C-alpha cells in the first residue's frame, strides 16, 4: 500500500510512503518552530521542549519506517537494529548525565553537546564524500562546508569545555592570530582545490582526511586564545556553527526537517552571539582575536584602597529595613549552589514588605542565560528577573544592592577607566545604589582578571565566605530579628 504510486511531480512518480514521509518532516519542522517560540518564556519552555522533541521523534520513526533508497528498498533490518541500539544507548547516557549534572557544570555540558552535534555533521560529510558527484558543485560545496564547520564546532567546543572546566589554559601569544589565519587560508584553499581539481572522490580521499585534520586543528586554535570572560560569546558562536553544520547535512540528504532544524539553531546562535557582543560593547572580530579575559595584567590593578567588611547582624538589619533590594547574581552563586537559599532570602524579605528583584546581566556566568536557568531551578518567579537595561535607571532609588558572586558585570571600570580591557562594556550600575553588600569567598579578581573598584567604594561592604553559608546565616539572622 505504501509503495503504491499516487501521482507524479515534475515527471517523477511518488508513492504514498514518500508522501507520508515528507508530510512528517513538515510536521516535525513546524513543531521545531513552535517549540522554539515556547522556549522564549519559562512558563512555556518545558512544553516547548517536549513539542520540539516530539517533532524529532516523529522524524526518526517515519524515516525508519518509510525511507527508501535509490533502488526503492527500505532500510535493512540489521541497520534498523543498529540505529535503535545507538538511540537507546545515547538516550540512556543523556538521561544519566542530565540527572547528575550540577548547575555549575551546565556550561560545560552545553559545550559538550555542541561538540557532539558538530562531530555528527563532520562524520556525515566524511562518509558521504565518496558518493559525491564532483560535477555538481552545489552538492560538493555543502559536503565540504559540513565537514569544515562540523569539525570546527567539534574541536572548538571540546576546547571550550576544557577551558570552562579548568582543564585547559589560554594561549597568550600574538602569533596565535597569524597561525589561525594561516590555518583558515589552508583549509578553505584545500576545499577550493578539491572542488576545481576535476578528480574523483577516490582520488581525493587523502584530501578529505587532510581537510578534516586542518579543520579540527583550526577549531582548537580558534578557541585557545579566547579568554574566560568571552566564553558566553564563544559558546553562542559554536552553537550556531553546530546548527549550520546540521543544515549542511540536511542538504546532503535532501532532508527538509534537518535543514530547517539546523537553520533554526544556526540563526538562533548567530542572533544570540550578536546580542552577547552588544552586551559587551565589542565586535565579534574583537572577541575572536582580542584574547580578552582569563589572565594577564589588567588596567586598574594598582592600589585601590581597603575593602570594608560588614557583619551578619548589620547586614540583616540593613536588608530588613529597606524598601528596595536588588540582588545581582553571578557565577559564584552557581559555584556555591546557593540559588535555593537565595530565593529563601528574597521570599523572607518580601514577607517583610521589601521589594526584591534580581538584576540579570546578559553575560553573567559562563553561558548565555546562565543566571536565568540557575534561578528558574530555584523557582524564582520570572517577573522578579529584571534585565540590565530595565534595572539600571532605578539603581539610584535602590536602598541595597546585594552582589553575590558577580564581579566583572558590576565593575565601574567599564565606565570610568578608558584603558580597562572592559572599557565600554555595559554593566549593572550597582555603584549608584545607596548601599552595596558584596558576597565574596575572598579578595581575588573576577574571571576576566581585572580588579573591581566597586569593592573598594565608600558605600560598599563585603561579607566574606561561601555564598550558600553566608546566605543561610543571613536568613537565620533576619528570622531572629
Strands 12-15 and 5-9: antiparallel
* Whole-number pLDDT of residue 234: 84
446 DSSP 8-state letter: -
Q: CA dist 163 to 91, 224, 227, 454, Å?
A: 26, 8, 9, 27
* Alpha helical stretches, state H, 129-175: 137-164
Structural domains of the chain in order of their starting residue, each with its CATH number: 101-296 (no CATH), 312-479 (3.40.50.1220)
Per the CB < 8 A criterion, the answer to whether 386 and 430 are in contact is no
- Residue 142 pLDDT: 92
Catalytic residue IDs: 408
Is residue 402 within 8 A of residue 474, CB to CB? The reply is no
- The span from the first CA to the last CA of the chain, in angstroms, equals 77
Instruction: Answer whether 349's CB lies under 8 Å from 387's CB.
Output: no
This model's pTM is above 0.85: no
> CA-CA distance, 344 to 319, in Å (whole number)?
14
Per the DSSP assignment, residues forming a β-bridge with 101 are: none
Tens digit of pLDDT per residue, the chain (481 long)?
Answer: 555 555 555 555 557 777 888 889 889 989 988 998 888 777 788 899 999 999 999 988 998 888 877 666 778 889 889 999 999 999 999 889 888 887 667 788 888 989 999 999 999 999 999 988 888 888 899 999 999 999 999 999 999 888 887 788 766 667 777 888 899 999 999 999 999 888 999 999 999 999 999 999 999 988 888 766 677 788 888 999 999 999 998 888 888 888 888 998 899 888 888 887 877 777 777 666 644 444 433 444 445 667 889 999 999 999 999 999 999 998 888 888 889 999 999 999 999 999 999 999 888 877 777 888 888 888 898 889 999 999 999 999 999 999 998 888 898 988 888 877 777 788 899 999 999 999 987 666 555 567 788 898 889 999 988 889 999 999 999 998 7
- Angle of CA points 198, 199, 203, to nearest 5°: 170
pLDDT at residue number 446: 55
d(CA 208, CA 145): 12
Q: Nearest Cα to 338, choosing from 103, 108, 166, 106?
A: 103
Residues constituting the chain:
481
Q: Single out the residue of 345, 311, 340, 307 nearest to residue 326, CA to CA.
A: 345
Single out the residue of 136, 162, 332, 349 nearest to residue 252, CA to CA. 136
**What is the dihedral sign for C-alpha 321, 326, 331, 334?**
positive
Gap between the Cα atoms of 48 and 44, Å rounded: 6
Amino acid at each position: 500500500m505504501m509503495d503504491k504510486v499516487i501521482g507524479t511531480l515534475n515527471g517523477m512518480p511518488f508513492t504514498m510512503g514518500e508522501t507520508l514521509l515528507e508530510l512528517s518532516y513538515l510536521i516535525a519542522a513546524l513543531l521545531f518552530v513552535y517549540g522554539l517560540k515556547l522556549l522564549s518564556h519559562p512558563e512555556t519552555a518545558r512544553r516547548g521542549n517536549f513539542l520540539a522533541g516530539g517533532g524529532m521523534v516523529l522524524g526518526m520513526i517515519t524515516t525508519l519506517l518509510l525511507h527508501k533508497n535509490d533502488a526503492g528498498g527500505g532500510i535493512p533490518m540489521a541497520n534498523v537494529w543498529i540505529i535503535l541500539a545507538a538511540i537507546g544507548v545515547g538516550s540512556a547516557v543523556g538521561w544519566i548525565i542530565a540527572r547528575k549534572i550540577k548547575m555549575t557544570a551546565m556550561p560545560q555540558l552545553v559545550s559538550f553537546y555542541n561538540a557532539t552535534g558538530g562531530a555528527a555533521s563532520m562524520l556525515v560529510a566524511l562518509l558521504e564524500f565518496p558518493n559525491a558527484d564532483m560535477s555538481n558543485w552545489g552538492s560538493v560545496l555543502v559536503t565540504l562546508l559540513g565537514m569544515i564547520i562540523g569539525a570546527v564546532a567539534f574541536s572548538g567546543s571540546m576546547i571550550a569545555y576544557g577551558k570552562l572546566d579548568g582543564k585547559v589554559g589560554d594561549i597568550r601569544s600574538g602569533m596565535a592570530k597569524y597561525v589561525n589565519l594561516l590555518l583558515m587560508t589552508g583549509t578553505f584553499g584545500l576545499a577550493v582545490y578539491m572542488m576545481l581539481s576535476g578528480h574523483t572522490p577516490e582520488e581525493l580521499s587523502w584530501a578529505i582526511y587532510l581537510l578534516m585534520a586542518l579543520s579540527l586543528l583550526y577549531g582548537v586554535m580558534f578557541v585557545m586564545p579566547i579568554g574566560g570572560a568571552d566564553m558566553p560569546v564563544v559558546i553562542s558562536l559554536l552553537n550556531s556553527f553546530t546548527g549550520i553544520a546540521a543544515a549542511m547535512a540536511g542538504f546532503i540528504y535532501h532532508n527538509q526537517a534537518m535543514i530547517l532544524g539546523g537553520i533554526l539553531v544556526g540563526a538562533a546562535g548567530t542572533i544570540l552571539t550578536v546580542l552577547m557582543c552588544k552586551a559587551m560593547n565589542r565586535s565579534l572580530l574583537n572577541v575572536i582575536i582580542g584574547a580578552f579575559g582569563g589572565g594577564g595584567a589588567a588596567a586598574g590593578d594598582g592600589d585601590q584602597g581597603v575593602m570594608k567588611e560588614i557583619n551578619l547582624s548589620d547586614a540583616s538589619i540593613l536588608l530588613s529595613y529597606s524598601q528596595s533590594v536588588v540582588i545581582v547574581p553571578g557565577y559564584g552563586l552557581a559555584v556555591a549552589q546557593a540559588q535555593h537559599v537565595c530565593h529563601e532570602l528574597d521570599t523572607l524579605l518580601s514577607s517583610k514588605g521589601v521589594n526584591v528583584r534580581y538584576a540579570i546581566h546578559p553575560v553573567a556566568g559562563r553561558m548565555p542565560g546562565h543566571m536565568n536557568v540557575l534561578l528558574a531551578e530555584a523557582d524564582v518567579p520570572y517577573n522578579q528577573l529584571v534585565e540590565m537595561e530595565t534595572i539600571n535607571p532605578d539603581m539610584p532609588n535602590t536602598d541595597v544592592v546585594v552582589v553575590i558572586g558577580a564581579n566583572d558585570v558590576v565593575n565601574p571600570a567599564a565606565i570610568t577607566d578608558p584603558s580597562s580591557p572592559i572599557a565600554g562594556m555595559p554593566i549593572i550600575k550597582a555603584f549608584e545604589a545607596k548601599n552595596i553588600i558584596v558576597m565574596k569567598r575572598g579578595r581575588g579578581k573576577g574571571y576576566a582578571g581585572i580588579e573591581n573598584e566597586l569593592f573598594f567604594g565608600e558605600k560598599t561592604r563585603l561579607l566574606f565566605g561561601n555564598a550558600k553559608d553566608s546566605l543561610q546565616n543571613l536568613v537565620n539572622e533576619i528570622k531572629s530579628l
